[in-house]
């Protein structure tokens, strides 16, 4: 938020004041004339209030600029337009507090209505014999811009019929907005056409309405707030706002109160059907209650509002109170806490979420938004930051709606961020140093130590527990559904597996796993309980471990009880382990103690101590290296078979190697074996080797 000097401050000069007024009028011009956001609404409102306060101390500083800012529609930024309004289109005066609302209720006397204050663009639309003939923006209140083409192209504007069901002649005035669903659709359409994302729904409406001659359509909604018939049809000759809005709804126009009623806001609001008229308020306490109700329902309305409008219902009350230079005296707008503000990014932090997705968070200069002071806000993704040119030092828009975590939605205009270098994301995962999966906008780290989804997918992988059907997509869905660890997989029921949501169908309905697939996964989970002990160790995904370490640990400590009792020194003594890996194993086993206990309770293989007096295994004391393929085995199962027969499986040929198992004579391993005199065994003899029927012969 802009730090304005106090009106009485000696440091406040006329030059500084004039510069701030110019900045505010420039922001207003961008707001009303373009889809550029140069200043948040909260910052602009604070600036206008500050300007008014300064003039009470320095009245001689008043100028044409301050008069326009404080007294003219759209801050006087629109000198003219191509359409002249038959009656001025005014702005809404702001209530500084609820006492101003109480005062209006008392002045009106005959009752007021309370409606949501839409955050869009004001529009005046003419109809002749039931057909839309002209649409114009408010402009400077006297003249506006012709946007007839923009509101009638494509599928038109929801709530603003091009043709009415009756030959009605007259005009409607209202706000043109984008609902939140329409805004999401507009962002997709914008991206498909190569455009940058819109900052917010109002920004999107401004962009759509100011593209005359464009060959594309954007979804928008109209909400009527006034109606005047050319011949004063008896249907709407009620002399009340309720009567006119009732007639507008029957003609086919959407209204602010009608849209709100669909979201469950009823107190004191006009609904969209004539048989549900509500009483107007004459008591200030009731008006306050209605204002509070709208604010409470603000997050669920489905469209953005920035306050509540309190207006006289009867025309005679409106005539008696009259209009000011830019605002009516019979209505005020009570503004809620701003949901958008501007701040400066001080740092960008990178994390990994429970599904393995990259998580970006901006530390921002403290700013008041959504009713509280925030210092952190989430960011979209690395590609979006690069496209928008956002980096440390960028001035950005921060949004907080209801209890939602604050989010950086856009940078301010280019002038506000000139010279700020775009942020460079880390080349690798900051947690484990692994490579990012960049196949989608939300980068992922698939390391099992970095995410729940990664751990689940790793456990189910072919070289671990080999659970069919649990790939990345299912693992991510499980993490989203609340599965916290691999032991949870064995707790899920058939009904829970079947109902697992994997996404949505083309119609928007949830797409679930289904019973047939669920049955297969549960059968595979049951089969995983017989997998070798070394795979259970590997599947735990302990840092700095993998398939080889899992086999080494299972060979030296044949039961989970023995492994969990092993010291760092005992594990470090295993060839190729060392103290760093040993410490990671001890720490990892301790951290996963509960998971291991639950896996054991589910019947997973926790190893077995060698039988007393058992015969010596055929490959005891021998070390083998496997290169290439062995019929009927994968690399992992072949290595497991060697170790089950008492031998050791190694990945590299050395003088300590008993034999190389391969039929590929030209490989580097085969050449090294020949140089060292290490025997080579044909894969066809692998089964005989395991039985002890074939022994390595010296070369």
Q: What are phi and psi of 244, to 5 degrees?
A: -65, -40
| Two structure tokens written together for 13 | 């000069």
**Residue 124, pLDDT score:** 95
Cβ contacts of residue 436 below 8 Å, gap of 6+? Answer: 358, 427, 428, 429, 443, 444, 445
Confidence at residue 601, expressed as pLDDT on a 0 to 100 scale: 95
Supply angle C-alpha 550, 556, 557, rounded to 5. 80
Tokens, residue 425: 């994301």
Number of H helices and E strands in the chain, helices first, is 25, 21
- Start-end ranges of CATH 3.40.50.10190 in the chain? 623-691
Q: Count Cβ atoms below 10 Å from residue 669 Cβ, excluding itself.
A: 20
Q: Which DSSP helix (H) or strand (E) runs through 226?
A: strand 221-229
DSSP 533-589: HHHHHHHT--TT--HHHHHHHHHHS-BHHHHHH--HHHHHTSTTTHHHHHHHHHHHH
* Whole-number Cα distances in Å, 235 to 76, 244, 298: 37, 9, 33
Cβ proximity of 155 and 207 under 8 Å: no
Q: What is the CATH T-level fold of the domain 340-417, as seen in this structure?
A: OB fold (Dihydrolipoamide Acetyltransferase, E2P) (2.40.50)
Pairing between β-strand 623-626 and β-strand 648-650 as defined by DSSP bridges: parallel
Tell me the sheet residues that pair with 345: 364
pLDDT value, residue 699: 46
Q: Between 3.30.70.270, 3.40.630.30, 2.170.120.40, 1.10.150.20, what CATH number should domain 452-530 receive?
A: 1.10.150.20
Asked if 532 and 479 touch (Cβ cutoff 8 Å), the reply is no
pTM summary value: 0.55
Alpha-carbon distances of 537 from 527, 561, 629, 668, rounded to whole Å: 17, 12, 25, 31
DSSP state of 97: S
> How do beta strands 121-128 and 131-137 pair?
antiparallel
With residue 108 as reference, give the H or E element that holds it: helix 98-108
Range list for CATH 1.10.150.20 in the chain:
452-530, 533-601
Say whether 117 is catalytic: yes
533-601 — its CATH code?
1.10.150.20
| Phi-psi region at 646: left, alpha or beta (left = phi > 0; alpha = psi -120 to 50) | left
**pLDDT value of position 234:** 44
Mind giving me the DSSP string for 14-75? HHHHHHHHHHHHHHHHHHHHSS--SS-HHHHHHHHHHHHHHHHH-GGG--HHHHHHHHSGGG
DSSP assigned state of 192: H
Q: Where in the chain is the domain with CATH 2.40.50.140?
A: 340-417
The whole-angstrom separation of Cα 390 and Cα 377 is 14
Give rounded-to-5 percent helix, strand, coil for the chain.
40, 20, 40
Is 94-335 a CATH 3.30.470.30 domain?
yes
DSSP 476-530: HHHHHTT--SGGGGGT--HHHHHT-EEEE-TTS-EEE--HHHHHHHHHHHHHGGG
pLDDT per 10-residue tile (average), the chain, 699 residues: 74 85 77 63 76 86 79 58 88 88 95 90 94 91 89 89 93 92 84 75 82 72 88 58 89 84 50 46 92 84 88 94 90 86 90 75 86 83 86 88 73 77 88 81 75 86 90 86 92 94 75 92 95 93 85 91 95 90 92 94 91 74 87 85 86 88 86 88 86 70
Among 309, 350, 346, residue whose Cα is nearest residue 331: 309
Structure tokens at 127: 């109809």
Tokens of 43: 């910052």
The owner of tokens 């599947």 is 539
Q: Give the span between the Cα atoms of 54 and 75, in whole angstroms.
A: 17
Cβ 471 vs Cβ 554: under 8 Å:
no
String of DSSP letters for 662-674: -S-TTSHHHHHHH
CATH superfamily, region 623-691: BRCT domain (3.40.50.10190)
* Given the residues 72, 117, 335, 648, the one annotated as active site: 117
CA 547/CA 554 separation, integer angstroms: 11
What does the DSSP 8-state code read for residue 644?
A: H
Nearest to 210 by CA among 132, 124, 150: 150
The CA distance from 199 to 35, in Å, is: 9
Residue 453, token pair as written in the block: 């989804």
């Amino acid at each position: 938020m802009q730090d304005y000097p106090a009106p009485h401050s000696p440091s406040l000069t006329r030059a500084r004041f004039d510069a701030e007024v110019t900045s505010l009028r420039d922001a207003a011009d961008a707001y009303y004339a373009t889809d550029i956001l140069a200043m948040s609404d909260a910052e602009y409102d604070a600036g206008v209030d500050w300007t008014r306060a300064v003039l009470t101390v320095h009245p001689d500083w008043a100028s044409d600029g301050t008069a326009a800012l404080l007294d003219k529609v759209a801050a006087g930024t629109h000198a003219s337009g191509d359409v002249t309004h038959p009656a001025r289109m005014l702005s809404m005066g702001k209530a500084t507090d609820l006492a101003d609302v109480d005062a209006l209720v008392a002045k009106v006397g005959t009752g007021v209505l309370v409606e949501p204050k839409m955050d869009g663009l004001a529009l005046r639309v003419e109809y002749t014999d039931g057909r839309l003939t002209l649409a114009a923006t408010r402009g400077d209140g006297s003249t506006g811009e012709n946007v007839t083409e923009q509101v009638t192209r494509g599928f038109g504007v929801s709530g603003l019929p091009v043709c009415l069901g009756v030959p009605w002649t007259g005009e409607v005035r209202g706000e043109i907005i984008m609902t939140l669903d329409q805004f999401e659709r507009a962002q997709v359409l914008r991206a498909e056409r190569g455009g940058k994302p819109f900052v917010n729904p109002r920004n999107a409406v401004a962009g759509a309405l100011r593209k005359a001659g464009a060959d594309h359509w954007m979804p928008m909604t109209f909400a009527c707030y006034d109606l005047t018939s050319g011949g004063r049809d008896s249907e709407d000759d009620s002399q009340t706002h309720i009567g006119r809005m009732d007639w507008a709804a029957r003609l086919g126009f959407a209204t602010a109160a009608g849209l709100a009623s669909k979201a469950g806001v009823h107190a004191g609001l006009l609904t969209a059907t004539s048989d549900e008229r509500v009483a107007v308020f004459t008591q200030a306490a009731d008006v306050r209650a209605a204002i509070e109700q709208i604010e409470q329902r603000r997050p669920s309305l489905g469209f953005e509002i920035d306050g509540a409008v309190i207006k006289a219902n009867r025309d005679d009350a409106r005539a008696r109170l009259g209009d000011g230079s830019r605002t009516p005296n019979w209505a005020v707008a009570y503004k809620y806490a701003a949901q958008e503000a501007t701040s400066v990014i001080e740092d960008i932090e990178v994390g990994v979420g429970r599904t393995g997705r990259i998580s970006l968070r901006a530390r921002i200069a403290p700013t008041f938004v959504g009713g509280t002071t925030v210092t952190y806000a989430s960011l979209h993704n690395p590609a979006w930051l690069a496209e928008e040119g956002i980096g440390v030092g960028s001035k950005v828009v921060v949004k907080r709606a209801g209890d939602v975590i604050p989010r950086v939605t856009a940078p301010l205009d280019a002038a506000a961020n000139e010279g700020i270098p775009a942020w460079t994301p880390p080349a690798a995962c900051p947690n484990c140093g692994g490579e990012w999966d960049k196949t989608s906008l939300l980068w992922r780290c698939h390391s099992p130590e970095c995410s729940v989804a990664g751990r689940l997918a790793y456990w189910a992988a072919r070289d671990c527990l080999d659970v069919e059907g649990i790939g990345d997509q299912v693992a991510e869905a499980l993490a989203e559904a609340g599965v916290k660890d691999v032991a949870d997989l064995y707790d899920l029921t058939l009904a829970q597996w079947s109902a697992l949501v994997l996404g949505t169908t083309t119609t928007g309905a949830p797409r679930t796993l289904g019973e047939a697939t669920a049955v297969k996964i549960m059968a595979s989970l049951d089969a995983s309980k017989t997998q070798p002990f070394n795979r259970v160790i590997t599947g735990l995904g302990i840092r700095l471990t993998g398939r080889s370490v899992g086999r080494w640990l299972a060979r030296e400590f044949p039961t989970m009880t023995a492994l969990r009792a092993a010291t760092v020194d005992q594990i470090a003594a295993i060839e190729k382990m060392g103290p760093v890996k040993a410490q990671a194993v001890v720490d990892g086993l301790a951290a996963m103690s509960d998971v291991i206990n639950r896996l054991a309770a589910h019947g997973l293989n926790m190893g077995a101590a060698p039988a007393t007096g058992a015969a010596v295994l055929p490959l005891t004391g021998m070390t083998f290296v496997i290169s290439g393929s062995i019929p009927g085995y994968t690399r992992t199962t072949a290595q497991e078979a060697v170790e089950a027969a008492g031998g050791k499986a190694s990945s590299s040929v050395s003088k300590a190697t008993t034999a190389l198992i391969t039929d590929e004579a030209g490989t580097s391993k085969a050449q090294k074996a020949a140089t060292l005199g290490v025997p080579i065994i044909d894969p066809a003899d692998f089964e005989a080797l395991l039985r002890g029927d074939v022994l390595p012969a010296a070369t």
